[in-house]
Chain A
Amino acid sequence: MNEPADAAAGKRGGVAIEAQGLTRRFGPHVALDGLDLRIAPGEAFGLLGANGAGKTTFIRLVTGFLLPSAGTVTVDGMTAAADPAGVSARIGFVAETTRLYPELRVGTFLRFAGGARGLSGSRLEAQIDAGVARFQLESSLNRPLGHLSKGLQQRVNLAQAFLHDPPLLIVDEPTSGLDPLQQEEVRSVLRGLRGERTLILCTHDLGEARELTERVAVLSRGKLVACGPTREVLSGADPLALFRGENASAA
């Protein structure tokens, strides 16, 4: 079950994301410790772990928001430090629900998000129309983001990540803080993305990972403790043992 982290990527051919010896320290605290990981194009990949396991740190290293202390992480062969524009063009990033501008209206926000990614004119309008239709935001276009429910905010968040049609979508705790109905709403959107583009889902919800991902990596205290097909990794008697940092055989 604890297959080499790059085996599945090798089977599919090509690598969307590759981390080699990826390490990130915050002072004496090691948030990510020598992570080796390969994610194949088109794969629905889950990044699991308890709070503080290093999931968000990994995502921030991929997007270039943070720099690694050691090792490298590449997106389609590019690092965010060397080619930030190339990496940002390939990534659609969905942060947690609160990371929006509450004073902006949905339409205005989408126009900003598209413009900030270099879209303009008829292409921008076409992409906004497509996003609005896909995430069913027609009735919310003129409402301020701060007046929307968290579920709707998360749909706006997903819509903005799709505007530039990126091949890789990174979703960080997409259902955190949502009620069960809103969680299902967001999950159904993510289910529809499987196979369409590379999806990295960062979560501590095992059910969500089972439902939405093909392969998962489990992090504990910054270390990779398991990596493999989702069903295999999470099929053990006590999958939470992985979260506690016990090795793969515990699961």
Chain B
Amino acid sequence: MTALRALLRKELLVLFGSPMAYVALTLVVLVTGLIFFDHLRLYNQTLFLFASSNMGGFESDTVPDYINLRDTVFFPVMETLGITLIGLIPLVTMRVFAEERARGTDELLVTTALTPAQIVLAKFAVTYLFVTIMMLASFVYPAMAIIEGGIGAQHLASVFVGLSLHAIALASIGLACSAYTSNQLVAAVAGWAVGFVLWDFSWLSSFSFVGERSIAFLDAISLHLRYGSFAEGIVNLGHLVYFVALAALAAAIARFSFDWRRVAG
């Protein structure tokens, strides 16, 4: 436990001691803000058009029900945020293992009392913490849309859990990719590729050679379906298990990289 504590502390110091952490946090807040305010602008314009198209001027009862903060701002923001995170999270995870390999400090780690499982655990835990902080920062705007849109605290909690789990799933994928290379760019590109492929498989249904069973299976493993469910305020045990299983699988893959390196060199 002493060794694990020491590594956790080192990981936190290295992460928050580098400007990358603050650049990533700022980037997330900026991008989320841009997405939110862009949708809010569109909502206001639509509202204005509907209201002003009526001879009576600005009368709120002339606006159709589907033009509301929830459907016009919140859901599109969450959808765009989900895709944006696929692009952003690998930028955070790419250095975690790859940098140790590039610097050669992984050799130092292996000659300490730390086991590969502890190294993976510490790196995953610190990355999850950072990603959760990122999500807290990026959640301010969607939360405003929910509160102003009249959605309750339970829904708010569900959305935050979904957003965090989605980010953690992407971080897990990124970490597993980072564990197999010493090149941070390769780690980032691999993280993006796996993230985008896992996001949504519905486009495959347009191909006749893909069977219904295959589509059902691919839908079951897609991130979009799970994430969308949380955004609608549905906390399903199956979805929670999906995210936990994905994180566990990624951690196991990262752990295996140590054995693989000992054999392959």
By a beta-carbon cutoff of 8 Å, the part of chain A in contact with chain B is 24, 26, 60, 63-67, 84-85, 88-89, 91, 93, 95-96, 98-101, 103-104, 108, 111-120, 160
Contact = CB atoms under 8 A, between A and B. Distances in A.
Nearest to A61: B262
A66 B6 contact: no
Given A63-B111, A113-B112, A96 B104 contact: yes
Nearest to A84: B115
Contacts of B5: 115
A116 B114 contact: yes
B110 A63 contact: yes
A115 B107 contact: no
A117 B112 contact: yes
Contacts of B241: none
A90 to B, nearest CB: 10
A152 B115 CA distance: 29
Nearest to B115: A84
A118 B104 CA distance: 21
Contacts of B110: 63-65, 88
A79 to B, nearest CB: 12
A83 to B, nearest CB: 12
B6 A103 contact: no
A88 B116 CA distance: 13
A117 B113 contact: yes
Given A88-B112, A116-B3, A116-B109, A95 B104 contact: yes
Which of A65, A99, A113 has the most B CB atoms < 10 Å from its CB?
Answer: A65
A40 B104 CA distance: 29
A5 to B, nearest CB: 24
B210 interface: no
Contact of B104 (A66, A98, A111): A98
B6 A111 contact: yes
Nearest to A85: B113
Which of B3, B7, B104, B112 has the most A CB atoms < 10 Å from its CB?
Answer: B112
Contacts of A67: 262-263
Interface residues of B, number: 28
Interface in B1-43: 2-3, 5-7, 9-10, 13-14, 17-18
A193 to B, nearest CB: 18
Contacts of B2: 115, 118-120
B255 to A, nearest CB: 14
Nearest to B10: A112
B213 interface: no
A115 B9 CA distance: 10
Contacts of B108: 93, 95, 99-100, 113, 160
Contacts of B114: 116
Contacts of B265: 24, 26, 66
Contact of B262 (A26, A66, A96, A160): A66
A64 B113 CA distance: 12
B112 A104 contact: no
B13 to A, nearest CB: 6
B3 A108 contact: no
B9 to A, nearest CB: 7
A93 B105 contact: no
Interface string B91-116: 00000000000011101111111110
B6 A115 contact: yes
A116 B107 contact: no
Contacts of B263: 67
A64 B111 CA distance: 8
B262 A103 contact: no
B103 to A, nearest CB: 6
Nearest to B114: A116
A64 B110 CA distance: 8
Contacts of B115: 84-85
A101 B262 contact: no
A88 B113 contact: yes
Given A65-B262, A117-B113, A104 B13 contact: yes
22 contacts: A64-B111, A65-B261, A65-B262, A67-B262, A89-B113, A91-B111, A93-B107, A99-B104, A100-B108, A101-B103, A108-B10, A111-B6, A112-B9, A113-B108, A115-B3, A115-B5, A116-B109, A116-B112, A116-B113, A118-B2, A118-B3, A160-B108
B64 to A, nearest CB: 55
A144 B131 CA distance: 26
